[in-house]
Amino acid sequence: MNRCSYQSALCRNGATCIPGLDGAFSCRCPISYTGVYCETFSQTSTICSSIPCRNSGTCVAYNNNANYYCQCPQEYSGSTCTTPVTICPVDYCKNNGQCTFDYTLNRLRCACPGTFGGQYCEIPIGQSNACASFPCHNDGSCTPAPPSFLCKCKDTYSGNQCQYSSNINPCSSSPCKNSAICVNLGSTFQCQCQSGFHGITCETPI
């Protein structure tokens, strides 16, 4: 589902809506605006202020802040790092592990030899197998800490298993109009309109 095709009002102030996976989207802001929906005017903002690069990609501005490109982690590619890499990078799996693309998890995965475990087959089984079940979510890396484990999360996630997104709350900019209630859906929001109004942000009287 491409939300950009039928909810063009999501991105404001002349911003461009960029579709992502599973209905996600991002807004490419004009230079003078920032925020998830490009709703905030800022004289100090840059073309990277809207955080256009996903999955811990790094935004690099060039051409006097008129353009940008994303430096993606090895598991992702594409202009905004939203496309999972299906071809295994060299030495992705350690200790003779076999790399494959798991279409259920939608990411690369290592099949480890019997003496190693962990996300990248980097952990000797005799040391700890607490990481063998891939307990760290959202591409967090697992380190054994007997009798349990520790997760090192990507920049935009937190929690003991990297299960919480730390992205900006989409309701923080008060996008819902006319006393509507904003419901945080993670990467986006939904407005519960008061009686007498409708629309994406409850902006239209009935």
**Fold of the 86-162 domain:** Laminin (2.10.25)
Which runs of E-coded beta strand occur in 75-178?
Answer: 76-77, 83-84, 98-102, 107-111, 116-117, 123-124, 141-145, 148-152, 157-158, 164-165
pTM of the complete model beyond 0.85: no
CATH number belonging to domain 169-206: 2.10.25.10
Specify the range with the lowest mean pLDDT, choosing from 3-12, 27-36, 70-79, 131-140: 3-12
The domain segmentation of the chain, as residue ranges, is 3-83, 86-162, 169-206
Cβ contact 88:94 at 8 Å: no
CATH number belonging to domain 3-83: 2.10.25.10
pLDDT tens-digit map of 82-140: 888 888 888 889 989 999 888 887 788 889 887 788 888 887 776 556 776 778 888 88
Q: Map tokens 């063998």 to a residue.
A: 132
Q: What is the pLDDT of residue 70?
A: 92
- pLDDT at 28 exceeding the cut of 60: yes
Asked if domains 3-83 and 86-162 share a fold, the reply is yes
